[in-house]
């Protein structure tokens, strides 16, 4: 357990609190040059034949720090964990079928080919990952850029509590090492669960956003590809993940474990300042 909160935590959260809408950030990942990936790159598409990965960046919505969910405006009666932990790890949600999920698995920390293969087999259906990321926030009211660098871990409701895959075990180990107990004691661990936290992230979304996890797979052309059973655009999901098998299969929480944070303050144009927290 980390002894105390990161030195950048309070200024970061204070800056976010100045925003009127949900905080939006850019997430950069590495996309591996692998034949198994859905997009197949030849070496000619890379700028150098020795490159094993290409950069990818996309917009995401920040959903709070892991274990300290914001209040639920959509479904206030949905089950939640008690507020007994906190962390310094930013969270976003995603769909297991998106390319960034593959990228985070394929560029994860494991260099052992056997473990990587086991992760790949079970991985895309469950928890794991750990690939390197940089999350970039521009907080206009504070005239500050935050770049949070670290690794990103994918959490699936189906296996996160007791799954025995390499990926699920690694995610639990990594996150537990970053969670600080802020009330009560560690004797009663039963009162808090990973899957309840994932479900609470799901029910924190609007019903139409929850329904987006039942869309046809991303990237499939609409013309000539009828949706699979239960799939379709514009669906609404009223309840949690337990009541919807397809949403449960596709919904993922992604937790960024920071290793280095770079803060650039342009508030005073004559005295721009930069902090590097490591």
Q: Which of 20, 36, 47, 59 binds ligand FMN (CB under 6 A)?
A: 59
Nearest-5° angle of CA 128, CA 138, CA 265? 115
Spatial separation of the C-alpha atoms in residues 104 and 37, rounded to whole Å:
12
Give whichever of 81 and 93 is closer to ligand FMN, judged by the CB atom: 93
Query: Is residue 100 within the footprint of ligand FMN (CB under 6 A)?
Result: yes
Give whichever of 74 and 274 is closer to ligand FMN, judged by the CB atom: 74
Q: How far is CA 228 from CA 96, 110, 172, 232, in A?
A: 16, 34, 33, 8
Query: Is residue 40 within the footprint of ligand FMN (CB under 6 A)?
Result: no
Sites for ligand FMN among residues 148-187 (CB under 6 A): none
Give whichever of 6 and 98 is closer to ligand FMN, judged by the CB atom: 98
The residue range among 11-19, 96-104, 114-122, 206-214 that interacts with ligand FMN, by the rule CB under 6 A, is 96-104
Alpha helix segments (H runs only) across 147-193: 166-176
Query: Is residue 46 within the footprint of ligand FMN (CB under 6 A)?
Result: no
Q: How far is CA 116 from CA 49, 53, 111, 173, in A?
A: 23, 16, 7, 17
Q: Which of 16, 53, 60, 155 binds ligand FMN (CB under 6 A)?
A: 60
Give whichever of 31 and 178 is closer to ligand FMN, judged by the CB atom: 31
Q: How far is CA 104 from CA 3, 46, 80, 153, 256, in A?
A: 28, 19, 27, 8, 11
Interacting residues with ligand FMN (CB under 6 A) = 24, 56, 58-61, 92-94, 98-100
């Amino acid at each position: 357990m980390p002894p105390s909160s990161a030195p950048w935590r309070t200024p970061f959260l204070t800056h976010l609190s100045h925003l009127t809408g949900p905080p939006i950030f850019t997430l950069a990942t590495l996309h591996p040059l692998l034949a198994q990936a859905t997009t197949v790159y030849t070496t000619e598409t890379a700028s150098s034949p020795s490159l094993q990965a290409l950069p990818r960046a996309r917009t995401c919505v920040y959903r709070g720090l892991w274990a300290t969910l914001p209040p639920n405006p959509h479904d206030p009666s949905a089950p939640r964990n008690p507020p007994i932990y906190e962390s310094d790890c930013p969270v976003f949600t995603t769909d297991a079928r998106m390319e960034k999920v593959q990228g985070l698995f394929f560029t994860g920390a494991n260099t052992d080919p056997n473990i990587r293969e086991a992760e790949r087999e079970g991985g895309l259906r469950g928890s794991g990952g750990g690939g390197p990321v940089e999350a970039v926030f521009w907080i206009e009211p504070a005239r500050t850029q935050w770049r949070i660098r670290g690794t990103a871990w994918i959490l699936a409701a189906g296996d996160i509590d007791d799954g025995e895959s390499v990926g699920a075990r690694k995610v639990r180990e990594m996150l537990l090492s970053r969670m600080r107990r802020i009330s009560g004691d560690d004797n009663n661990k039963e009162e808090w669960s990973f899957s309840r936290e994932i479900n609470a992230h799901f029910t924190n979304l609007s019903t139409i956003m929850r329904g987006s996890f039942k869309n046809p797979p991303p990237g499939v052309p609409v013309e000539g590809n009828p949706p699979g059973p239960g799939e379709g655009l514009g669906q609404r999901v009223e309840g949690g993940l337990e009541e919807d098998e397809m949403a449960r299969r596709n919904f993922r929480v992604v937790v960024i474990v920071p290793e280095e944070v770079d803060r650039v303050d342009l508030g005073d144009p004559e005295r721009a300042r930069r902090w590097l927290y490591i």
